[in-house]
Amino acid sequence: MPRVIPCDEDDSIELGDLIAALNEDGFDPGDEDSFAAAAPLLKRLANNRGFLADIAVAELKDRCARQGIDNRYSSQVIMLHRASEKYFIRANFWPSERDSVFKTSGNSPFFYHVPHDHNFSFLTVGYLGPGYWSEYYEYDFGAVTGIPGEKVDLRFVEKSRLEPGKVMLYRAHRDVHNQLPADDMSVSINIMHASPSLAFLNQYRFDVKTCEIAEILNKSSTEALLALAAQQRDGNGRDLVEHFAAGHPCERIQFAALRELAAAEPDVDSAIERLAAGAGASRFIAAMSAMEAARISAGRGWIEGGSAQSAP
């Protein structure tokens, strides 16, 4: 489960004080101990009971102009600071099942009842309300290929909540939580690890009943663009897709390129033959290619029937 970091700090600081401290050369959110060392600072910010309300009021008066620029999340999140390339700070709202926003939106916007890990580490503190609940698990990321349906050794640790003042470090590719609604509206403050490379690292949703990977949660815009470029046989983007399919540091992107090249083939047999190239790649690409080939083969009748009907 996430690393609980005891913090006895009673004094408070402003958001600017936290930012100044994190911007010092020694802070490295990619290093667990360095990230954990920032816990007392986050606790001291959480002791400041007025700063978040002041920021919220200022944003409302400014028609949330800064949020429109810096905030890539939903209205559940207030972005507090995003000027750094290695971290950002946000506040998250966690409604209870009784709150109107939950009744209107349901579970999905808040990731409730979606067991998942993270492809980034983050430090969090309970700021307001009783805190959201979580069922916590751990797993060995290095022992996982990453294929949907793959069995995973998920080890249940405990069920607990992020109470006010409690500081926890969620560790990338290790801690899994099934997040559950708070008993009353709650708020947490997070320091998030940020890096351009994180988009290429997998984040998984798990089925904790069967101990399986249910799906890969994160997608990148690169995957959508590959689908467009693969269809341009005479364009200058096709060679890039071919290059990515032959090799890419991110296995997910490499498979996506191979999949889109297969989708651009004129018939089922050519698509399956294209996917066969994945058999000699990594375990992930080989398995995903085989699954995609099986999916296409299963739809052969529909695909070929549709092609025949559309032919002049």
For residue range 86-105, list pLDDT tens digits in order: 999 999 999 999 999 999 88
Lowest mean pLDDT among 165-169, 221-225, 306-310: 306-310
Residues 45 and 179 in one domain: yes
In the predicted structure, residue 302 carries a pLDDT above the cut 70: yes
Q: Mean pLDDT in the chain?
A: 91
Residues 164 and 236 in one domain: no
Residues 142 and 199 in one domain: yes
- Can you tell me the distance from the alpha carbon of 208 to that of 138, in angstroms, rounded to the nearest whole number? 11
Range(s) of the domain holding residue 273? 221-310
Residues 156 and 302 in one domain: no
CA-nearest of 215, 202, 183 to 115 is 215
CA-nearest of 236, 229, 234, 274 to 255 is 274
Average pLDDT estimate for 144-173: 98
Lowest mean pLDDT among 53-62, 191-200, 303-312: 303-312
Higher pLDDT, 153 or 237: 153
Residues 153 and 26 in one domain: yes
Q: 216, 235, 264: which is the final residue of a domain?
A: 216
- Which pLDDT does position 234 carry in this prediction? 74
Residues 178 and 225 in one domain: no
Q: 190, 216, 242: which is the final residue of a domain?
A: 216
Residues 239 and 207 in one domain: no
In the predicted structure, residue 207 carries a pLDDT above the cut 80: yes
Residues 191 and 288 in one domain: no
- Which pLDDT does position 307 carry in this prediction? 54
In the predicted structure, residue 68 carries a pLDDT above the cut 90: no
Torsion of CA 226, 228, 229, 231, to 10 degrees: 120
In the predicted structure, residue 20 carries a pLDDT above the cut 80: yes
In the predicted structure, residue 197 carries a pLDDT above the cut 60: yes
- Considering the chain, what percentage of its residues have pLDDT values greater than 70? 93
Q: In three state form, how does the secondary structure of the chain look? A: CCEECCCCCCCCCCHHHHHHHHCCCCCCCCCHHHHHCCHHHHHHHHCCCCHHHHHHHHHHHCCCHHHHHHCCCCCCEEEEECCCCCEEEEEEEECCCCCHHHHHHCCHHHCCCCCECCCCCEEEEEEECCCCEEEEEECCHHHCCCCCCCECCCEEEEEEECCECCEEEECCCCEEEEEECCCCCEEEEEEEECCHHHHHCCCEEEECCCCEEEEECCCCHHHHHHHHHHCCCCCCCHHHHHHHHHCCCCHHHHHHHHHHHHHCCCCHHHHHHHHHHHHHCCHHHHHHHHHHHHHHHHCHHHHHHHHHHHCC
| 164, two tokens | 């006010």
Residues 256 and 305 in one domain: yes
When pLDDT is cut at 50, 70 and 90, the band that residue 132 belongs to is very high
How many structural domains compose the chain? 2
- Can you tell me the distance from the alpha carbon of 293 to that of 62, in angstroms, rounded to the nearest whole number? 52
Residues 203 and 270 in one domain: no
Residues 208 and 268 in one domain: no
CA torsion sign, 215 to 298 to 305 to 270?
positive
- Can you tell me the distance from the alpha carbon of 245 to that of 278, in angstroms, rounded to the nearest whole number? 9
When pLDDT is cut at 50, 70 and 90, the band that residue 141 belongs to is very high
In the predicted structure, residue 69 carries a pLDDT above the cut 70: no
Higher pLDDT, 236 or 246: 246
Q: 182, 216, 250: which is the final residue of a domain?
A: 216
- Which pLDDT does position 303 carry in this prediction? 73
Q: Find the CATH number of the domain harbouring 70.
A: 2.60.120.10
When pLDDT is cut at 50, 70 and 90, the band that residue 75 belongs to is low
| 47, two tokens | 């002791």
- Considering the chain, what percentage of its residues have pLDDT values greater than 90? 73
Residues 193 and 278 in one domain: no
Q: What count of other Cβ atoms lies within 10 Å of the Cβ of residue 252? A: 22
- Which pLDDT does position 304 carry in this prediction? 75
